[in-house]
Homo-oligomer: A and B are copies of this chain.
Amino acid sequence: MEHRIDRIKKQLHAQSYKLTPQREATVRVLLEREEDHLSAEDVYLLVKEKAPEIGLATVYRTLELLSELKIVDKINFGDGVSRYDLRKEGAAHFHHHLVCTECGSVEEIVEDLLEDVEKIVQDDWGFKVKDHRLTFHGICRQCQSEAVISSS
C-alpha cells in the first residue's frame, strides 16, 4: 500500500503536481476499494469518512488529474455515472470488464486478450492504438447457475 502511494507520489511529482493530504486520502480510498468501481460520489463519501473537511469539487478535480496521468481510468457502464478504476500496477493497458445484466456485478479481466486484435487494427486500418475500452455484457456464472436452479 505505502509502496503504491509512493509510486503515485512520484508520478505526480514528475509532472510537478503535489500529493496533498486530500489527494492522498482519495488515492487511499481507491487503493482500499480496488475491486470496486466507484463513482465520484462514492469516492467522496468514503474520503469524507477519513477526511471530513474535503469538498466534492476536490474529489472531482483529483479524479480528473489521476485520469490524465493514467493512474486511474474513467469508465462508463451505461448508467448515468462515470466510474473510476485504478490501473493495475505496471499494466500497459486498461483491463477489461464483464458486466452482468442480471445482478449488476462487475468482474475484471487483467489478461490482455486484445494483442491480436490490436495488431489487426494497426495493420489493416493504420490506426495507432494507445488505449482501449472493452466491456462484455451478459450473464455471470453465478446468475447462470441460479437460473438453472430456479427453472428446475
Residues of A within 8 A of B (CB): 74, 76, 78, 98, 100-101, 107, 109, 113-114, 116-118, 120-121, 125-141, 144
Contact = CB atoms under 8 A, between A and B. Distances in A.
A126 B113 CA distance: 16
Contacts of A131: 136-138
B128 A138 contact: yes
Q: Is the interface of A mostly helix, strand, loop or mixed?
A: strand
Given A114-B117, A118-B136, 8 more contacts: A76-B78, A113-B117, A117-B134, A125-B141, A127-B141, A129-B138, A131-B137, A133-B135
B126 A130 contact: no
Contacts of A114: 117
Nearest to A134: B134
B139 A130 contact: yes
A138 B128 CA distance: 5
B128 A107 contact: no
A97 to B, nearest CB: 9
